[in-house]
Structure 1
Amino acid sequence: MSKREHQREHIIKTAFKVWGASRFTDMSLTTLAEELALTKPALYRYFKNKDELMRAMRDRCAADYIRLSEQLIDTDSEQNLDELVHGFVELTNLFFTEQPEYAAFFVTQFIGPAGLTREDLRALFCTQHERLESAVRNQYPNAAPELLSTAGHFVMFSGVFWSMVGYIDQDLLPLDRHTREPAAIEASISRSYEVCMHGLLIQGSTRMPSFERVESLCRVGSDGRMEADRILSAIAEVVAEVGLFDATIERIAEKVGMSKSSLYFYFKNKDEMLAKMAQRLRMHFLDVLLARMEQFSAIEDRLYAFLIVTSAYMLQNPELLTIAHWFRAQNLDIELDSATRERALNAFTFLQAALRDGQIRARADELVAVVSYLHLYVMHDAAFFRPDISSEPELHRHMRSIYTLTMGGLRAAAVASDDAADQEGVII
C-alpha cells in the first residue's frame, strides 16, 4: 500500500469514528480535519469533496460486510436451519462489534433501496436469501410457498436489525453502553437468534389475528393519499433520475423551478425545512394509522393492523418509500416534537403493556425498538418484494406471511400449510 493509499485509509477510519459519534448527523469536514491534524485543503488532496469521501466509506462498509458474510456462504451447504441462522446472527453481531460506528451508517446508507442498488450487496443479499430459503424448505417441506419466499429476507433483516440495535443512538433505539462485553454480545446473539426462530411474541401467549376482519377494516383509500407537494414530488423525481446519494438540494430546487436560497426562504436552513416536511409526513401517517388501529383491542389484531396499514399507506403513496429513504440518507437528527411523540407513544400503549407483561421478546424499555423494527421491516420488504405484488389479495397474502414470521419466527413455518394463511390458530 502506497503512502497516499495508507493516508486515505486513515481518513476513512477516522471519519467513521468522528462522524459516528453523532450517528452521522454532524459530518463537518472541519471537525474531521482537526481530528486528523490536517488543514481542509490538505484533506481535499485525498478526497475532492465530502461526497467522494462518503462513497469511499460506503465502499468500505459494504466490502467489510461482504467479506464477513462470505464466511457463512462458504460454510457447509448441508448445515441445518438452526446452525445456519445461528451462524448468520453470530457473524452479523461480530460485524457491528468490530466497528460499532457501522450500525448507524448501515441504517442510513444500506437499509432500503440504497443497499439494493449496489450490485455487490444485491448479489450478496440474493445469495443469502436463496441459501436461507433452501434451508427452510428442507426443514419444513410443507410450509406455505409465501412463507418460503419471504423467510430468507426475514432472517437477513431481523438478524441485522437486532444485532445492531445496541449500537444505535438512543434517540432512535436504546443504546447499551456495555454491548461490547462478552456477556452482552452473547445475549445479543441469543436474542437475534430467538427472534429469527421464534418471533417477537412469546410462544403460546397470543393467537393469530382475525386476518380478514383486520384487512377489511384497515383499507387505505383516498384519505390515505398525501396532499400534493411540489418539493416532495421533486425529491422523488430527482432520486429516480440520479440516485439516492446524488439527489442534492440544488438539483431538487432546480426541479421545483427555483433557486436553493428561494427554497429556504421560509426556513432558517436546510435542516429546519426538512424537519418541517418530515413532521408533516409523520402526522399524516399517524392520522391514517390511528383511525384504523384503534378499532381493535386484541394485541394480535392491533399488530397486524399496524403492518397492513403501513404497507397499504405506501401503496397509496408510492413515492413515499423513496422520500423516506432520501430523508434518512441526509443523516439528519430529526426528533419528534413532544406532542407528536406523545401521540405516537399513546398509540402503542397496548404494546408497552405487552412488553411489561413479558409477552414480547424484548426488554420493557424497547418499545421504540420494536415499533422501529416492524416499520423498517415493512419498508425494506417493500423495496425487496413490492414490484412483484400487483393486487390487494396478493398484498394481503404477503402481509399475513410477514405477520406470521415477525411474530412466530421460522418455527411458525413448521405448522404452516398452503392454506394456513386463511385460518386462525395458535402461534407456536
Structure 2
Amino acid sequence: MANSQISNKKNTKSLILDAAFSFYHEPHFTDFSLNQIAEKVGISKPAIYRHFKNKEALLESMQAHFYDLLAERLIEVQKAAESGKEYSKMPFAETIQFFAANPEYINYFLSQFSLNENFESQMRAELSTRGVKQATVSINKEWTFSGKNDDQIQALYCGTTFLLFLKIREKMHKCKKTALDDNFGVKLIKFVTDGLRGVAEPGAAIFPKEISNERKEELKKICSIDESAFPPEDRIFTALATVIKKFGLTNVTIEKIADELNMAKSSLYFYFDNKNQLIAKLIEKEFSLLNEIIFENISEAKTYSECIYISLLSETNYFLFRPSIIPICQWLIQNTSNQMGSDKSLEVTHAWENRIAEDVKKIDLGFRISPEILSLWQGFLPVALTVMGKKYKMPYEEYLIAIEKIFECIQNGIDTDSCSI
C-alpha cells in the first residue's frame, strides 16, 4: 500500500512537471500560475503543495529536470567518444532527435538563456556535477570566449546551427509542411560536420570557392561602416533594448518603455496597438536598414562564397555599431524561425538566392530547405558571435578572426578530431 502511494506521488509530481513544461510548447512563452498547472493536471491547487513547497520550488525542479535530461544525453555522447565510436555522431544525433520531438525543452532553454545572464555558466556547472566532462561541453571555470579559440568558435557554430534548425523544423512540422523525420538528427549532424562542401557537387553555385587574402582585404573595406553616413538609432528602439536588458524579454511592457522614454504611455499607443506590434515594427525598421547594407555589399560578390563572407562581415560590423540590438536577439531567434512556415517568408530576397535555388533543393534535412533559410542560418551566426563577444568584451581584431573561422565552418564543416559537439 505504501509503495503504491509513493508511486502515485511520483506520477503526480511528474505530471505537474510535464504540465509546467507544456507552457513552453509555444515559443511565445508567458508566465504560468499554479492554478493553470492544477487545471492542466486535473488536480486542485492545494494538491500541488504536496509535491512542491511553492512556485519557486517548482521552477527549481523544472531547471533540475532539464539539466538531468541534457546531462543524460551528453553522457551517452561522452561514452561513445571515449570508446572511439564514429565521433559519437549517433548518440548526438539521438539527442537532437529527442529535442526535435520535444520542442518545449528547446524553448525552455532559450527562455532561460534570455532571462538569466548567468545561465550559461550555471548550466556548465550543473552538467559538471552530473558527470558531464569538460571535453563534452567545454566546462571550465576560467572559460572566456575568444575569437582565437577554435574549439569555442566551433562550439558556437554547432550550437547556433542546431538550435536554429531545430526551431525551423518545429515550425515546419506545426505548419504541416513536414513530418518528423526519424533521420533528422543524423542529417543535421552531417550538415554541420561537412558544411556546404558536403551537400554540393563541384561546380554547383554553393560549392565552396577559395577567396584570396588580397580579395578578403577588399571585401573587408566594402563591408566597413561609414559612421558619419549612418542614421541615428530610433530612440524608441533604444528604450526597448534598455527595458529588455533591465527586466528581461517576458517582462517588457508599454508602460516600462514609456517610463524609459519619460513620456506618457498613451503617446506610444498612438503609434502601436500593443507590445508585440511595437517590437515587431521597431525590429522591422531596424533590420530593413541592415538588409539594405547587406544587399548593397553583396552586389560586389563574384561567387556565393564571397556572398557568405560579405554577409558575415557586414552583419557583424552592423551589430557592433548598434549594440542595443543585442538584447533583442532572443526575440529574433524565436520569431524569425517561426515565420518559416509562411510562403511570404520564403520569397527570394536577393540575386544570389536566385542563383543557388536549384542547388539548395538538394540539401536534405528532412524538410524543405530554401535559399532564404540558408541565408537565415548564415545570418544568425554573427548574432551569436556578437552576443558572446560582447559578453566577454572581445576586441574587434578577434571578431575578424572568429568570422574567418565561422566562414570556414560554413564552407567546409568542422574539425571533428579537435571538437566534441
> Normalised by the size of structure 2, how large is the TM-score?
0.72
Which sits farther off after the overlay, 324-333 or 280-289?
Answer: 324-333
Verify: 1:371 aligned to 2:391, yes or no: no
Q: Corresponding residue for 1:147?
A: 150
Q: 2:240 aligns with which of 235, 239, 243?
A: 235
Q: Corresponding residue for 1:313?
A: 318
- The 3 A distance-change label for structure 1 pair 54 and 404 is farther
| C-alpha displacement of 1:282 | 2.2
Q: Which one-letter code corresponds to 2:79 in the other structure?
A: T
Verify: 1:66 aligned to 2:70, yes or no: yes
CA contact under 8 A between 2:24 and 2:108: conserved in structure 1?
A: no
Task: Map 1:21-420 onto structure 2 (within 5 A).
Answer: 22-24=26-28, 59=63, 62-72=66-76, 75=79, 78-80=82-84, 82-97=86-101, 99-106=102-109, 108-109=110-111, 117-123=119-125, 131=135, 146-162=149-165, 164-165=166-167, 167-170=169-172, 177-179=178-180, 184-185=181-182, 187-202=183-198, 204=202, 205-209=207-211, 210-222=215-227, 225=230, 227-326=232-331, 342=347, 344=349, 348-356=353-361, 358=362, 365-367=368-370, 368-386=372-390, 387-391=392-396, 393-411=397-415
- The 3 A distance-change label for structure 1 pair 270 and 157 is closer
CA contact under 8 A between 1:25 and 1:331: conserved in structure 2?
A: no
| C-alpha displacement of 1:320 | 0.8
Cα distance in structure 1, aligned partners of 2:275 and 2:238: 17
CA contact under 8 A between 2:168 and 2:340: conserved in structure 1?
A: no
RMSD of aligned residue pairs (Cα, Å): 4.8
Matched positions, count: 391
Question: Structure 1 stretches of 5 or more lacking a match?
Answer: 135-143, 415-428
CA contact under 8 A between 2:164 and 2:377: conserved in structure 1?
A: yes
Cα distance in structure 2, aligned partners of 1:233 and 1:85: 43
| C-alpha displacement of 1:102 | 3.2
Cα distance in structure 2, aligned partners of 1:335 and 1:92: 20
Cα distance in structure 2, aligned partners of 1:96 and 1:102: 9
Cα distance in structure 1, aligned partners of 2:336 and 2:13: 23
CA contact under 8 A between 2:348 and 2:354: conserved in structure 1?
A: no
Cα distance in structure 1, aligned partners of 2:336 and 2:7: 32
Q: Corresponding residue for 1:137?
A: none
Cα distance in structure 1, aligned partners of 2:338 and 2:167: 17
Cα distance in structure 2, aligned partners of 1:235 and 1:81: 48
Cα distance in structure 2, aligned partners of 1:188 and 1:328: 20
CA contact under 8 A between 1:151 and 1:410: conserved in structure 2?
A: yes
Once the two structures are superposed, what CA deviation does each residue of 1:131-170 show, in whole Å capped at 9, x if it has no partner? 1598xxxxxxxxx9643442233333334444x2564213
Cα distance in structure 2, aligned partners of 1:264 and 1:100: 34
Query: Which SS does the other structure have where 1:201 is aligned?
Result: helix
Q: Which one-letter code corresponds to 1:199 in the other structure?
A: G
Q: Which one-letter code corresponds to 2:172 in the other structure?
A: Q
| C-alpha displacement of 1:403 | 0.7
Cα distance in structure 1, aligned partners of 2:98 and 2:119: 25
Q: Which one-letter code corresponds to 1:197 in the other structure?
A: T
| C-alpha displacement of 1:374 | 2.0
| C-alpha displacement of 1:298 | 0.8
Once the two structures are superposed, what CA deviation does each residue of 1:349-383 show, in whole Å capped at 9, x if it has no partner? 23424314x4x565793124323322222212222
Cα distance in structure 2, aligned partners of 1:44 and 1:275: 39
Q: Which one-letter code corresponds to 1:102 in the other structure?
A: Y
- The 3 A distance-change label for structure 1 pair 76 and 267 is closer
> Normalised by the size of structure 1, how large is the TM-score?
0.71
Question: Structure 2 stretches of 5 or more lacking a match?
Answer: 1-5, 139-146
Once the two structures are superposed, what CA deviation does each residue of 1:64-109 show, in whole Å capped at 9, x if it has no partner? 5433344247526645594234433332322333x24334554x52
- The 3 A distance-change label for structure 1 pair 124 and 40 is closer
Q: Corresponding residue for 2:142?
A: none
Q: Corresponding residue for 2:141?
A: none
Q: Which one-letter code corresponds to 1:279 in the other structure?
A: E
Q: Which one-letter code corresponds to 2:374 in the other structure?
A: V
CA contact under 8 A between 1:307 and 1:399: conserved in structure 2?
A: yes
